[in-house]
Amino acid sequence: MKTIDMPLLADTARRLMADGKGLLAMDESTGTCNRRFGAAGIPQTEAFRRAYRELLVSTPGLGRTISGAILFEETLHQRTRDDVLFTQVLEDAGIVPGIKVDLGAKLLAGHPGERVTEGLDGLRARLKAYSEKGARFAKWRAVFSIETGTPGPACIAANAHALARYAALCQEASLVPIVEPEVLMDGAHTLAECGEATHRVLHQVFEQLDQQGVVLEAMLLKPNMVLPGTECPVQDDIDAVADATLACLLRAVPAAVAGIAFLSGGQPAELATVRLNAMHRPRDTAPMSNPWPLTFSFGRALQQPALAAWAGNDANRVAAQQALLHRAACNGAAVLGRYGAVMETP
Angle between helices 46-57 and 317-334 in degrees, nearest 10: 50
Which one of 193, 222, 270, 344 is the catalytic residue? Answer: 222
283 CB contacts (<8 Å, ≥6 apart)? Answer: 239
Least Cα distance to 9 among 258, 253, 181, 213 occurs for 258
184 CB contacts (<8 Å, ≥6 apart)? Answer: 143, 144, 145, 146, 224, 265
Would you call 279 exposed, middle or buried from its count of C-beta atoms within 10 A (0-12, 13-18, 19+)? buried
79 CB contacts (<8 Å, ≥6 apart)? Answer: 85, 86
Which one of 180, 182, 207, 217 is the catalytic residue? Answer: 180
Least Cα distance to 169 among 199, 133, 129, 201 occurs for 129
Least Cα distance to 136 among 12, 262, 53 occurs for 12
Can you spell out the DSSP letters for 276-316?
HHHTTS--TT--SPPSS-EEEEESHHHHHHHHHHHTT-GGG
231 classed as catalytic: no
CA distance 298 to 244: 20
Residue 161 CB neighbour total at 10 angstroms = 19
Would you call 264 exposed, middle or buried from its count of C-beta atoms within 10 A (0-12, 13-18, 19+)? buried
CA distance 35 to 88: 28
222 classed as catalytic: yes
42 CB contacts (<8 Å, ≥6 apart)? Answer: 48, 52, 311, 312
Residue 337 CB neighbour total at 10 angstroms = 13
Residues with active-site annotation: 180, 222
